[in-house]
Structure formats: structure tokens, C-alpha cells
Amino acid sequence: MALRLPDKWIWDSWYVFDGTRHHAFYLHASRALGDPERRHRHPIVGHAVSDDLVTWTVVRDALIVSESPAFDSYTTWTGSVVRDDDGVWWMFYTGTSREDGGDVQSIGAARSTDLETWTKVSTEALVTADPRHYERLDLELWHDEAWRDPWVFRFADESTWHMLITARANAGDPRSRGVMGHATSDDLLNWTVQPPLSPPGQGFGQLEVFQFEIVDGVPIVLFCCGWREYAPDRLEREGRVSGTFSVVCGERLDDLDFTRAERFDEIYAGRLVHDPVSGWHLIGFIDHVDGEFVGELCDPIPVTADPVRGLVRR
């Protein structure tokens, strides 16, 4: 495996290349918890570095929860890292709060000059779900308020930052309300929540861990979904198999139709990582094998993109 910790489970991860080395940030929790489902309430954001995406060296952890009161006093979950025009690294990540029982997700940020030591921007969330467009907490409809997994990027010819967010629409069949949430910013600090970039009713109760990349000339959206969150039509198509999906879209994230999404692999929370020498790879975590949670990062899978099928192996 690319990264296995004997005393900890690893799950969602995100990556950045500093020009010399690859940096992996990942959620981990102690195996001493016993039940791997408990990991979701005991995560730490870990950090490892690599020259080749295969051999990783674990370094100091990046983030832990804040003291109450804070938007992330309960958990720090999945995010992404970008570098601003002044050379400062920003990590956007998901938080939940002990003050509301941990059922409401929101998004904040931390900054670093070296990718090693991080300072949180605020105890207040920077981006929260807007009820004009998105479902708020309603435990009769869904088990939490989905507003997480921020993927931040800029189009090549733009100064505006875009954030893609795991979210649910505020209308439609509750079994298929999963949408691509969207927010924009000019400075990475002040964000405006926009309408979703996809409509509900496209086969998924939620679409997790978005990533947008142009892979060998083909614009790709990557996401994952567990089989229990498939809408009935997608469940009939996929069966009880979770995994990472891709869908081809326009270069400006237009023509986005998740009914066309194809499952790439059972690897979960897959991330596209580009190496300047060896090209594109996918890395995610190994979920359940023979009914047991594994919790380790897979070896990098060489990939490219097909303009119809989406992500494919090289």
C-alpha cells in the first residue's frame, strides 16, 4: 500500500505538489477506538510527503479540532489546498461543532507558509449552506446537514476562486438530492454561496469529495458515493458497490450531468494527482474488504481520460 499506519485508520486524502515534493493530507484516527465507524468523530488531519507517490514519509500532523466554541470543535474533515498569489498556502476543510451536536457541517480554512505549520483563519466558519438553494438540517430527510469536502481552484484565465462542495438541494426526492454546491471568492477569505452547479434528481443522495481537473485534455469531475446513498435507479445499476466515479463535462464546468457518471473503481474518495514525470494517477483509500474496514491508501493507479467514458486506467 502507498500509505498504511499500523496503529491508525486512514480514509479521505487530498494532495498538493510544491514544485519538488508531493504532500498528502489525510484523515486518520486510532485503531484503539475498536469500531472503525467511531473514526468519524475522532479524526486528525495527518501529513506525509513523497517524491514518487509510492514511498511516503509521515511528518507532523496538520490540524486538530479547536477548543469550544468553534465551528470545528467536534471534527476536522476533508478539504483541499491551494496557493495564493502571495505564495501563502490555504487549506480549506470541513468542520463540525460540539455546540450543535456535530450534525451541521461548515467550511473554514487554515494558512501556512511551508505546508508544515498551519494557523487557522477563524473560529467562525467561512462558508455555510444557504437555505435559498440548499437543504438545511432535517433529520427526517437526511442524517446531517451536508456542506463539506471543499475543492478550491481557479480556471486558468480567471482571478476568481471557485469552491465545489458536497451538498444537497432543498427540494426534490430526498433520495436523489445530491448536488454540486458552489461558492466563489476574490480573496479566499470572503465567500459568496452560489446556486448549485447541478440539479437534483441525477441518481445520488449525495456526491462526496469533488475534484475538477483537465486530464490529458479532457475535463473531468471526480466524486464518490456509498451504495446506501444511491437513488433507486443508480442502486439498480451499480448494486451494493460503493466507489469513485467520474463524469466528463465542459471546460467551464458546464454540461454537467451526473446521470452519465461511470464508476471507476471501488477505491473510495479517489483523488487525481499529477506528477510532472509520470503523469496522472488516482489515489484513494481501501474501504471494506470481506466485510472488514481496511483504512489505508492504495498505491497510485496510472490514469488518463476518455472523452466519453471519463477516467480510465493507463
Inside any domain, residue 160: yes
Q: Kindly state the average pLDDT of the residues 139-153.
A: 97
The answer as to whether 124 is a domain residue is yes
In a domain, residue 260? The reply is: yes
What integer is the mean pLDDT of 3-13?
97
Q: Are 103 and 139 in contact (CB under 8 A)?
A: yes
In a domain, 286, yes or no: yes
pLDDT value at residue 2: 82
Here the CATH number for the domain that contains residue 194 is: 2.115.10.20
What is the phi/psi pair of residue 14, to 5°? Answer: -150, 155
Residue 2 lies in a domain: no
Q: What are 29-68's pLDDT values in tens digits?
A: 999 999 999 999 999 999 999 999 999 999 999 999 999 9
291 belongs to a structural domain: yes
The number of CA neighbours under 13 Å toward the Cβ of 155 is 10
Report pLDDT for 27. Answer: 98
pLDDT-based confidence at residue 1 (cuts at 50, 70, 90) = low
Write the burial class of residue 309 (CB in 10 Å: 0-12 exposed, 13-18 middle, 19+ buried).
middle
> In 203-313, where does DSSP find H-type helix?
232-238
Residue 3 resides in a domain: no
- Work out how many domains the chain is built from and give that number: 1
pLDDT tens for residues 240-292?
Answer: 999 999 999 999 999 999 999 999 999 999 999 999 999 999 999 999 999 99
Going by DSSP bridges, is the β-strand pair 8-17/147-153 parallel, antiparallel, or unpaired?
Answer: unpaired
Cell of 273: 494527482
| Average pLDDT in the chain | 97
Global model pTM greater than 0.85: yes
Q: What percent of the chain has pLDDT over 90?
A: 98
The parent domain of residue 17 ranges over 8-313
pLDDT of 24 over the 80 cut: yes
In a domain, residue 1? The reply is no
Question: What are the beta bridge partners of residue 310?
Answer: 306
Strand partners, 311: 305
CA Rg value for the chain: 18
Cβ(13)–Cβ(25) under 8 Å? yes
